[in-house]
Amino acid sequence: MALGSNLGNCHEHLDAAITSLRAIHAIKNLVESPRYLTDPMGPPDQPDYLNSVCEFDTQLSAHSLLDELQSIEIERGRLRPTDAASIASLRWQARTLDLDILLFGDSVIADERLTVPHAEIRSRSFVLQPLFDLNPALSIQGAGAVAELLAAANKLGIRPA
């Protein structure tokens, strides 16, 4: 799972997300990667992001986990519009907290709410680097080894927090 924030106290937002995840009874053995500062995607006139990833065991379904993540985002002030025009206009905007399911075991999911593995996982060094930090031998179904993806990725704009 990926964590990101670029509004307000970003470390506090990520810390609160980790605390909330640990409080969910169906989540166990949570480990967070080192955190990285990264250049923002989208409009350049926004603050840098603080990013990390975490891995954990869960008894939740992927969609139940997504519901939990979206609740945590909203608790931290994330705007989550429902109409198509607002969704499109906020896609690359700054946010207090962004939580994304990157992988869900070996599952492949593609529906209107969720795509797993995450659709852009192979091109995002701010996700690949912390994934590599947690598990250098990790392989992503349909994409390949994280080590190889990271070696090919543009690592400009990612630095230790």
What amino acid positions are annotated as catalytic residues?
78, 95, 98, 100
Structure-token pair, residue 75: 């608790």
What whole-number distance in Å separates Cα of residue 129 and Cα of residue 155?
Answer: 9
Strand partners for 38: 49, 158
Residue 8, SS3 per DSSP? coil
Judge contact between 131 and 118, C-beta under 8 A. no
